[in-house]
Amino acid sequence: VFPDTPTVEAPDWICDAPVDGIEVTAVGSFQKTKAGVQFQKDQATAAARNALAAQMQVHVKNLLKNYAETTGVGDEETVDTVSSSVTKQLTAATLVGSRKYKSRTSPNGTMYVLVGLDPTAAAANTQAALKTSYNNKRAAWQKFVGEKAHDELEAEFEKIANQDFN
């Protein structure tokens, strides 16, 4: 059924069913607008491509901090713990060979668009995503090592500056 018209049967692809000959697919939609059908179709296509990019490459940055502190001794000892977790998700992918395959307007006027990658384009995009991910991780590691070395050097300067020369 159409998501915006639950009493009307929709094509299977609108409900995210696999489509023969298209390796990776995504559906985008956009409500009826006074800006016209072309604007509506462009917006639905953009939404579908964003969903397609999210399938091909999603960077998840996860920050997890744990802190534990003890005070007191023996039976009087207490443990305080603090824990926090933050997750940030960013979709960053260049889609080569994606195309619009189908579009349909629901009875309520919402435009649905199917975009996808054929098997050849899907394989090429997957290879590019893996290569980019690998290079980004290497660059992040090099940045971390550089920052760590800088911090250690700053700590040594601080120690020397704070020495008492009697």
Q: Does residue 60 carry a pLDDT above 50?
A: no
Cβ neighbours, 10 Å, residue 30: 21
Cα angle 74-79-84, degrees, rounded to a multiple of 5: 165
Confidence (pLDDT) at 62: 46
Residue 101 scores a pLDDT above 90 = yes
pLDDT at 152: 73
The pLDDT value given to residue 98: 80
- Of 52 and 60, the structure prediction assigns the larger pLDDT to 52
Q: What is the pLDDT of residue 117?
A: 83
Q: Which residues, including other chains, have CB under 8 Å from residue 79's CB and lie 6 or more apart?
A: 68, 69, 70
Assess contact for 1 and 10: CB atoms under 8 A: yes
Instruction: State pTM to two decimals.
Output: 0.56
pLDDT tens profile 106-126: 999 999 999 988 777 666 656
Sketch the domain layout of the chain as residue ranges. 12-57+91-161
pLDDT over 70 (residue 29) = yes
Strands (E), 13-146: 24-30, 58-71, 78-91, 99-105, 111-117
Instruction: Kindly provide the residue ranges of all beta strands, DSSP E only, lying in 31-77, ordered along the sequence.
Output: 58-71
Judged against a pLDDT cut of 60, whether residue 96 lies above it is answered with yes
pLDDT for res 151? 74
Radius of gyration of the chain (CA): 26
CATH level 2 (architecture), domain 12-57+91-161:
Roll (3.10)
CA distance 56 to 28: 16
Q: How confident is the model at residue 84 (pLDDT cuts 50, 70, 90)?
A: low
